[in-house]
Homo-oligomer: A and B are copies of this chain.
Amino acid sequence: MPDLDPNRPARDTFDAPVGLAIRRWCAPVLGLPPLPSPDEYLTRRAELGAEEVHQRFLRSAGLEALLVETGHLAADLLEPAAMGSLAATPVHQVVRLETVAEVVARQGVDAAAYPETFARALEEAAAGAVGLKTVVAYRGGFGLDPTRPSTSEVVDAAGRWLSKHGAPRLEDPVLLRHGIWTGAELARDRGLPLQIHAGYGDPDLTLHLVNPSLLTDLVRALGQLRVDVVFLHCYPYHREAAYLAAVFPHVYFDVGLALHYTGPSAIRILTEAMELAPFTKQLYSSDGFALAVFRRSLAAILEDWVGREECSAADADRIAELLGRANAHRIYPIGDG
């Protein structure tokens, strides 16, 4: 998430739309007036301390449950349980396929045993999880062959990969496909959706290669398996994601991080995402930041629709309930709530 990267000067973050969003919407949660200077904001954060800040943000977001994807292994990230405690909500885990493969490789495995070892490790990692996720977007993008690779292709590719030194990063297209297909079969067996990062993210992806439409053949194959697919973030290809959600019964999407990174323009991004897709197919995700932008933007859009008599107040309530809560309850095994 480039703008919030702690290695970049804070000034960069504040000289961008996300900085306006932070100063406008986060500052009051910390007891500041809206739009303080960056220095005032950072000083106040430091004063309150990380735990108090996180707790205020998470609790003021009014969440019912957290779904946390645990595959990004950074030292300064909280464990899911600690997040749940700060937020005072149940926490559910989503398992990142590529991280499981990298852990398997780090722990040592023969190429011939890789397919079986990965499958077992994934089953274990996903015990109790409510979803799986692939970040193939960051590993070359969506141009990959949509078919399941043969076991011998996988073993050959694993041989090449495992012979490399150092911490292995999974970038081999055959192993990425193998991870997705192994994950898809587990998802089918356990009734879990498969999340797919799409669109805007860090500089190691190439934007036009992560347009969800490029995965249409894989989406068709996952539909044969009856596995639900959730495209996350998607900007600036949220219209393509919404199209897939409109025409394929098993496809869902959200605009995730696009909302806070676009600050004053979040309403318009969400409006575009809501142009075509059924209201039963769009979800909310936060990417762990700025949890209030979605609610505020959705309220503004529905108020506009009601004001223009494009829908009734009861329709608006129903749409908000679907996007904010009911759609997630339908596709994730998180209890009826």
Contacts and interface: CB of A to CB of B under 8 A. Distances in A.
A151 interface: no
- Chain A residues touching B, range: 35 or more
A191 interface: no
B263 A310 contact: yes
Given A21-B310, A264-B305, A265-B276, 20 more contacts: A15-B278, A15-B279, A15-B322, A16-B246, A16-B278, A17-B277, A20-B305, A20-B311, A24-B309, A35-B309, A35-B311, A200-B243, A207-B216, A208-B216, A208-B240, A236-B239, A246-B261, A262-B275, A264-B310, A268-B272
B203 A213 contact: no
A261 B276 CA distance: 6
Which 5 residue pairs are nearest across A and B when measured between Cβ atoms? Answer: A264-B310, A236-B239, A16-B278, A208-B213, A265-B275
Contacts of A271: 265, 268
A317 interface: no
A276 B200 contact: yes
A30 interface: no
A323 to B, nearest CB: 11
Given A206-B216, A243-B207, A311 B12 contact: no
Interface in A251-272: 261-265, 268-269, 271-272
A312 interface: yes
Chain copies in complex: 3
Contact of A311 (B239, B264, B308): B264
Main secondary structure, interface of A, reads: helix
A34 interface: yes
A306 to B, nearest CB: 10
A182 interface: no
B202 A213 contact: no
Contacts of A263: 310
